[in-house]
Structure 1
Amino acid sequence: MLATALAALLAAGALDPVPAAAASGPSGSASTDFPASVRAGGKARVTAAVLDLDGTGREPALYGADTAYDTASIIKVDILATRLLQAHDSGHGLPAQERAQAEKMIQHSDNTAANALWRRIGLAPGLQAANKRLGLTSTTGGPDVRWGLTRTTASDQIRLLRAVFDTGAATGAGAKPALDDTSRAYIRTLMSGVADDQSWGVSAAAGSGWALKNGWLQRNTTGLWDINSVGRITTGGHHYLVAVLSDGNKSMKDGVALVERAARSAVSSTAVR
């Protein structure tokens, strides 16, 4: 899987260096430190955000500093949401070719399909216009064709997940969700059917079900890895939206292990609040 991931990223040009974006501002939710068993070593860092969809709170619980990270391939959910908004605005659904690209992009993390849809949405400006409607406030699109270098926060990823999974999500009081029911169901279906070799990540905290999208990217400036996972899980009779972002990992294997420890810890801590 590691060799395949490296080859795909090189083909997409996602490993080209760019300056790191500044950290995001406060999200409005207090952050809690991870226990020692989760904390990253070396240059690695990790942040998680969890929202209990069956709880009474509407702000996510935060673990670690809610600062900006590279998205890597988790941006593919945002790309698809953007394209679906655009298609709805035009009064037409996605054409067959774009549906095929969307399915490859989400379920197999196909970079060629992502490249095509990134251009179709109008690159970063198209993404950011859609994100205003989706409620994201701390996500900046990657430069030119390098969608994997989009910068985001765990809190913003929860906002995106709410737009997809939370039936009560809306952009304001009395407003309707930005995505219509058909678009939301389509994204949920694709995220529930990712390829077996990509079923790691927030699924480690799940009990009876999950839907997710993962991202992995080795930065050629440092040789270190960005490893991310976002999605909805079901455990203990509750549905949770979970976003775990990390960078500075020595290897993909180390990053996956860190993300999964963080997901399990964050969900269990949120469940007892």
Structure 2
Amino acid sequence: MNRKTSLTLLLLLGITVMAHTVLPAPGIADDAFPHARPRHVPPSVSPSKAIPTVPLRSPPAHAQGPEHAARAALDGLKPFEGRYALAVVDPSSGRTFTHGASTEAFASASIIKVDILAALLLQKQDRGTSLTEAQEQLASRMIRFSDNDAAQELWVCIGRRQGLDAANARLGLTAAHAGQRGPWGLTQTTVHDQLALLKAVFEDDSPLSTTSRAYLRSLMSDVTAGQDWGVGAAGSPTSVPVLKNGWLPRETTGLWVVNSIGIVEYAGRSMLVVVLTDGQPTREAGIALVERTATAAVHTLVDQV
């Protein structure tokens, strides 16, 4: 084969090779043609080998503030019957904590006796007079022994419901506090009304004079043995209970109303505490509920600060 023939064959072979080679069209990226340019393709991640995600968790109750911790402590108590409402005020800060049926009304039972005496003392202040010896004896029996006959006599002295409503309007309680019909023990109240009463009894900014407040406190700190249960259970072991309790079986249902109000001294702090309950199967069950809730709330609120 001569040289001219060889060149002709080589030219024909080159044209044939080019005819079978596909080139990318103008304007199309190279990666549209995977064989035109080698490229690195990252390996796919199998779902079973994916990086696990960490679920978001709420911070512990104590890290969210004392009020949140107190609610968690109260919600964690054992089941109970009936209903309850609780309120705590820290006088040093003015902060108020409430829980349970705190916007609902309850029968007062014998805690209204503190209100009756506060109304009588306010009336005496207005007149510039003091309690008579007979009234002092009645007041002592009413608060220290929860004597109902003594309470009835002083109820008449203040002008019954009209007198109590007038006093409560000045003490910071709602006007409807004594607006219901029926015996004084069935007068409806709320934890907010009872906090207002406790503030009037134990704080300086009060319509009650220093002498009147000291007198009320002296009686509430000397309740007879057997009646010193209630919110005082939340206090330090060496503290003296300063409180008034109320208990009342309802004739229609046989269930109990059990209430407690007072000032509690715990870990160097003074706290105003109210617990109202009803629908309790027994008086003892109501007392246990009052003491458990008061202790859980006060201790958590103080310890978490």
Give the TM-score band, short-chain normalised: 0.7 to 0.9
Matched residue count: 233
- Which residues of structure 1 form unaligned runs of 5+? 1-28, 170-176
Task: Report which structure shows greater RCO (CA 8 Å, sep ≥6).
Answer: 1
Query: Per-residue deviation at 1:166?
Result: 1.6
The corresponding residue for 2:101 is: 65
Written as runs of structure 1 = structure 2, the 5 A alignment for 1:102-181 is 102-137=139-174, 140-141=177-178, 146-167=183-204, 169=205, 177-181=206-210
With normalisation by structure 2, the TM-score equals 0.73
The one-letter amino acid of 1:259's match is V
Q: Is the 1:138–1:153 contact (alpha carbons within 8 Å) kept by the matching residues of 2?
A: no
With normalisation by structure 1, the TM-score equals 0.81
Higher helix proportion, which one? 2
Say which one has the larger Rg: 2
CA distance in 2, matches of 1:203, 1:38: 20
Query: Per-residue deviation at 1:125?
Result: 1.2
The corresponding residue for 1:87 is: 124
Q: Is the 2:168–2:175 contact (alpha carbons within 8 Å) kept by the matching residues of 1?
A: no
Identical aligned pairs, as a percentage? Answer: 46
The corresponding residue for 1:46 is: 84
Residues 193, 126 of structure 1: alpha-carbon distance in 2 compared, 3 angstrom cutoff: same
- Which residues of structure 2 form unaligned runs of 5+? 1-66
1:74 has 2:111 as partner: yes
Q: Is the 2:249–2:257 contact (alpha carbons within 8 Å) kept by the matching residues of 1?
A: yes
2:259 to 223, 228, 246: 228
The CA deviation string for residues 122-145 of structure 1, in whole angstroms up to 9 with x for no partner, is 111111110010011275227566
Q: Is the 2:87–2:97 contact (alpha carbons within 8 Å) kept by the matching residues of 1?
A: yes
- Secondary structure of 1:113's aligned partner: helix
The CA deviation string for residues 164-219 of structure 1, in whole angstroms up to 9 with x for no partner, is 1122x3xxxxxxx2101110000000000000110000111010233000000000
CA RMSD of aligned residues (A): 2.0
Query: Per-residue deviation at 1:40?
Result: 2.3
CA distance in 2, matches of 1:145, 1:100: 26
